[in-house]
Amino acid sequence: MKIAVTAASGKLGSAIVKAVRELKSREDLIALARTPAKVQSLGVEVRPGDYNDKQALKQSLQGIDTVLLVSGMGEPKKRIGQHRNVIDAAKDAGVKKIVYTSVQGAEAGTAFSPVIQSNRQTEADIKASGLQWVIGRNGIYIEPDIDYLDSYVKAGGIYNCAGDKKCGYTNRPELAYAYAKMLSEDKHNGQIYNLHGQSLSQAELATYLSKRFNVDLAYHAVSFEKYRQDRINELGKFLGTVIAGIYQGIAMGKADNPSHYQLAAGREHQSWDSYFLSLKV
């Protein structure tokens, strides 16, 4: 059974390629990439995989049984069309099963909701495709909070609009492990799984970061409007608004859902104690 993984040059796509390599032989795995030159180090066959080029995708998916579609990064409306290109190319090429990395969050009422809605539209497109399918709804990546440590220290704590609500965090290697199982086991077909570990509040996240990195971070709630402006100042209008919208959704309780990680992966998600201990100080 041949498996293709899209966006293999990205952090999630490359982690999934590595996780599938643990279960399958090199010959059964193909990495698709918009920029194939970035993917040579993965040690598997690489084929063109630009979401905007349906013909090239169809060509690249010849002989593939199962494709993993990593959700795109473009603005929501464009994303839907890009994902449709992959789904249509998969159908035309005779692919049998598609596994999609979707996301959890508020479907309405936040600045992030258009992104969630675009993911839900792709879920609907996949269900209507006639292919076998599995959908993972990813929790929020925790890695950006680790990368952001210096900024938190400089700011004197974590400031955002999540309040005291919890968020289902995950990390890319744990997601990759679950997706490798969802790709290679038929029992997941037709399932939608929320993929994340134990939910954490921002105060709990601050405590984990403080203990592991020997810093003194506290959590401070700020209003959505103040946080949105702060993010726009740092990241620009599109990304700043989206990031603020993610925390707005957390404040609405929309990121604190039951986790189906165990069902998808066949084992529990890594605990946050274990994850933080594994980080280099």
Ligand X SMILES: NC(=O)c1ccc[n+]([C@@H]2O[C@H](COP(=O)([O-])OP(=O)(O)OC[C@H]3O[C@@H](n4cnc5c(N)ncnc54)[C@H](OP(=O)(O)O)[C@@H]3O)[C@@H](O)[C@H]2O)c1
Residues that bind ligand X (CB under 6 A): 7, 9-13, 34-35, 38, 49-52, 70-73, 82, 103, 138, 140-141
Q: Closest approach of Cβ 216 to ligand X, in Å? A: 26
Instruction: Give the three-state DSSP class for 87.
Output: helix
Q: Is 69 in contact with 100 (CB distance < 8 Å)? A: yes
Residue number, 10 or 163, with CB nearest to ligand X = 10
Alpha carbon distance 170, 254 (integer Å): 15
Residue number, 59 or 218, with CB nearest to ligand X = 59
Q: Closest approach of Cβ 172 to ligand X, in Å? A: 6
Residue number, 49 or 114, with CB nearest to ligand X = 49
Alpha carbon distance 185, 203 (integer Å): 38
Residue nearest to ligand X (CB): 10
Residue number, 181 or 196, with CB nearest to ligand X = 196
Q: Closest approach of Cβ 221 to ligand X, in Å? A: 20
User: What are the phi and psi torsion angles at 271 (to 5°)?
Assistant: -75, 160
Q: Is 69 in contact with 83 (CB distance < 8 Å)? A: yes
Q: Closest approach of Cβ 158 to ligand X, in Å? A: 16
Alpha carbon distance 238, 205 (integer Å): 26
Q: Closest approach of Cβ 115 to ligand X, in Å? A: 8
How many CA atoms lie within 13 Å of 252's alpha carbon, on the beta-carbon side? 18
* Identity of the residue numbered 77: K
Residue number, 139 or 163, with CB nearest to ligand X = 139
